[in-house]
Amino acid sequence: MNYSENYKRWLESPIVDENTKAELRSIENDNSEIQERFYRDLEFGTGGLRGIIGAGSNRMNIYTVRRATQGLCEDIKNCGQAAIDAGVAIAYDCRHKSYEFALESAKVLAANGIKAYLFDELRPTPELSFAVRHLKCSRGIVITASHNPKEYNGYKAYGEDGGQLPPASSDYVISIIDKIDIFDGVKVIDEAEARAKGLIISIGEEIDKAYLENVLAQSVTTEPIKKLGDDFSVIYSPFHGTGNKPVRSILGMIGVKNLRIVKEQELPDPDFSTVKSPNPEEKAGFAYAIEMAKQQKADLIFATDPDSDRIGVIGLDPSGEFVTFTGNQIGVLLAEFILRSKKENGTLTDKGALIKTIVTTSMIYPIAKDYNVHVHDVLTGFKYIGELIKDFEDNDYYNEFILGFEESYGYLAGTYARDKDAVVAAMLIAEMAADYKTKGMTLYEGLVNLYEKYGYYLEGGKSVTLTGIDGVEKIKAIMEKFRTNPPKELAGLKVLRMWDVDEGIIKSFDGTADAKLDLPKSNVLRYELENNAWYAVRPSGTEPKIKFYFGVCENSYAKAEQKLAECIAEISKIL
């Protein structure tokens, strides 16, 4: 069926509601828009669905959500009666259509005889991960597009361990979904009937309490916060999302007294009207928080994204300018703080483990060596961190998971959840900031101390957006060029080795033997350069982008900045 036939089928289907049909009629004279909406089905990738909200097979709407959920139902049924009886937990954020998509998912589950535990209002993604484990569900669903623009929404599926579906499971679900007709192959039941039959069950406060207790258990030291009292000041913005209640609660539980909330960004707003993008990586979103800090100084300023799985931090540098900490910088600060605190209180073992992705900073290696703990690299995506935590437990070869983190502002301490958690990160960052303050230092000064000790590691990235059908082909061509004919050097640094993750091999360019790469297959290339530098390239799994990641190490921040800029500039020329 071509895109025009698919468009006509949606218009004529008795299943499709009149509002959707009206939207489709409004584009009847725009062939390129019809093609974009119907040339393919919205892809259920390794993390689930994510796309622009709207009518069409390549959009987020109740029909694409129902189809995905029907596929998940078939997967659950294939696992047996115990999986069916265990049910599915469902959470959602503040975005347009989030509650509607969550409810439609619950109705499809109920129609297939599977209990849906539906949260009574918006909740963070990590709490959904916790709820799956706490309720012993067979699966989980969260409706969110994380920090994407307001036009987007998404659907993420979780396994019984509380982690995002791993590639093997996700591939199986995809194979099921591909066989399901979007209209005729989906079962749906009325909400009232489902609730009457006990197939849709509301959950809320009891899960909140258990979740926060588990987050609190990851605290490493509250003494500095208690010692400072009102003299420790925090400014927090939830960016209109789900972090507002749990973050405030956990900060209160560890004794933070002087907490100020950015009122303009406190309440849910699906349009994210005070920010260009609800992304805590971007300094622009902190404008209101910075104004508050100028009026009354703060020791810590941070924000969480709409589904509260990512956290961003800003602080003052020596010149008095507010600067954004990168995800890598917060990751190494947190890792060193947790390791140091555990060593001081005698709880650090030689079986401790840190997990990072292959595009995350290399600065963690010398830090881990100092504390005699292990570092494990996994593919990009927090689901791989969750998978490795499960592997640790199943095989009992590490008895202390310490911290998992990725460059894209995601962190997890503890095993109560299997996805990144801005709530636990907020708690630990607050403890860390207070700890540094008792030593007479800001977070920025703490970072400089680490640089002076381990080297000035600096990371950066470049993304190229290539939309539409042509964009997909262009991304493939770029990946092929870097795979078959990569640059021999970058910014004067020789390329020593190339990790071809798809082929599972480390190819050597310095005369040493090639080696096997022990990672799952993925379309990722990583290059090791001289002087502990590196870069990597991969297509985005959720957006029409190709992403480049860079890391350098020099003996001063200025030199690291210059070398990083040179690396990015040379790749830009190639592109």
Q: Are residues 471 and 528 in the same domain?
A: yes
Decide if 14 is inside a domain. no
CA dist list (Å): 531 to 41, 497, 499: 45, 13, 17
Name the band, by pLDDT with cuts 50, 70 and 90, for residue 256.
very high
pLDDT tens by residue, 278-309: 999 999 999 999 999 999 999 999 999 999 99
Give every CB contact of residue 384 below 8 A, 6+ residues apart in sequence: 166, 357, 378, 520
Q: Are residues 439 and 532 in the same domain?
A: no
pLDDT, average across residues 386-391: 92
SS3 assignment, position 319: coil
Amino acid at the residue 142: V
Confidence at residue 431, expressed as pLDDT on a 0 to 100 scale: 98
Mean per-residue pLDDT over the chain, rounded: 95
Q: Are residues 280 and 348 in the same domain?
A: yes
Please tell me the distance from the alpha carbon of residue 64 to that of residue 57, in angstroms, as a whole number: 7
Q: Are residues 383 and 482 in the same domain?
A: no
CB contact at 8 A, 426 and 311: yes
Please tell me the distance from the alpha carbon of residue 227 to that of residue 250, in angstroms, as a whole number: 18
Confidence at residue 542, expressed as pLDDT on a 0 to 100 scale: 65
Residues in the chain: 575
Decide if 12 is inside a domain. no
- Which of 95, 15, 89, 82 lies closest to 55, judged by CA? 15
pLDDT, average across residues 59-83: 97
Name the band, by pLDDT with cuts 50, 70 and 90, for residue 171.
confident
pLDDT, average across residues 16-30: 97
Confidence at residue 510, expressed as pLDDT on a 0 to 100 scale: 81
Please tell me the distance from the alpha carbon of residue 543 to that of residue 548, in angstroms, as a whole number: 14
Please tell me the distance from the alpha carbon of residue 280 to that of residue 311, in angstroms, as a whole number: 6
Please tell me the distance from the alpha carbon of residue 410 to that of residue 404, in angstroms, as a whole number: 8
**Tally of domains within the chain:** 3
Decide if 445 is inside a domain. yes
Q: Are residues 475 and 403 in the same domain?
A: no
Instruction: Give the domain extent around 473.
Output: 456-574
303 compared with 540, residue with greater pLDDT: 303
Q: Are residues 506 and 522 in the same domain?
A: yes
Please tell me the distance from the alpha carbon of residue 509 to that of residue 498, in angstroms, as a whole number: 8
Please tell me the distance from the alpha carbon of residue 421 to that of residue 415, in angstroms, as a whole number: 11
Decide if 23 is inside a domain. no
* Domain's final residue, options 401, 419, 454: 454
Kindly list the catalytic residues: 146
- Which of 570, 572, 567 lies closest to 533, judged by CA? 567
pLDDT tens by residue, 207-220: 999 999 999 999 99
Decide if 25 is inside a domain. no
Give every CB contact of residue 479 below 8 A, 6+ residues apart in sequence: 523, 525, 537, 538, 539, 546
Q: Alpha carbon 51 to chain centroid distance? A: 16
Q: Are residues 123 and 256 in the same domain?
A: no
Confidence at residue 477, expressed as pLDDT on a 0 to 100 scale: 93
Secondary structure of 352-419 in HEC code, one letter for each residue? EEEEEECCCCCCHHHHHHHHCCEEEEECCCHHHHHHHHHHHHHHCCCCEEEEEEECCCEEECCCCCCC
Please tell me the distance from the alpha carbon of residue 413 to that of residue 416, in angstroms, as a whole number: 9
CATH label of the domain that carries residue 179: 3.40.120.10
Please tell me the distance from the alpha carbon of residue 300 to that of residue 125, in angstroms, as a whole number: 24
Q: Are residues 190 and 322 in the same domain?
A: no
Please tell me the distance from the alpha carbon of residue 426 to that of residue 421, in angstroms, as a whole number: 9
CB contact at 8 A, 320 and 297: no
Q: Are residues 386 and 495 in the same domain?
A: no
Q: Are residues 421 and 445 in the same domain?
A: yes
Is the pLDDT reported for residue 397 higher than 90? no
Name the band, by pLDDT with cuts 50, 70 and 90, for residue 46.
low
Decide if 275 is inside a domain. yes
pLDDT tens by residue, 495-536: 999 999 999 999 999 888 899 998 988 999 999 999 999 999
Please tell me the distance from the alpha carbon of residue 232 to that of residue 103, in angstroms, as a whole number: 42
Q: Are residues 238 and 332 in the same domain?
A: yes
Decide if 6 is inside a domain. no
pLDDT, average across residues 320-331: 96
Helices 125-134 and 422-438: angle between axes, nearest 10 degrees: 110
pLDDT tens by residue, 185-214: 999 999 999 999 999 999 999 999 999 999
Decide if 3 is inside a domain. no
Q: Are residues 107 and 148 in the same domain?
A: yes
* Domain's final residue, options 162, 178, 203: 203
